[in-house]
Amino acid sequence: MIFKRLNYQTLQSLRLQGYNILLTIGRAEDENPIYFPMKLESLNGDRSKFESDDTITFQGKKILILDEAIQRSLNHDLNGIIQLDH
């Protein structure tokens, strides 16, 4: 496993690899969450269901839309790390 800081360069690299969401591994309340990148097929076609600039919580997990996370990273408005399997 590899861990990388949640920053603009890492997020751009994930987007180029086809990822579009980040899901927390721990609890949504964690101050320094660990995110796992995922590819969600239906997200690309219907983003209107998600409010921009908001973090979505599902079953106690925090979900970040990758494009929104990239925009927030430009303002240094994110904290956490990303766990990669390779």
- Provide the residue-wise pLDDT of the chain in tens; the chain has 86 residues: 899 999 999 999 999 999 999 998 766 567 888 999 999 887 555 444 444 445 566 666 788 899 999 998 888 888 889 999 86
- Residue 5 CA, distance from chain mean position: 12
Whole-angstrom Cα distance, residue 43 to residue 30?
25
Domain residue extents for the chain: 2-84
Question: Over the range 58-81, which residues count as b (16 or more CB within 10 Å of their CB) and which as e?
Answer: eeebbbbbbebbbbbbeeeebebb
CA atoms within 13 A on the CB side of 23: 10
Closest of 32, 19, 33 to residue 70, by C-alpha: 19
pTM of the model: 0.74
Instruction: End-to-end CA distance of the chain: give it in Å, rounded.
Output: 6
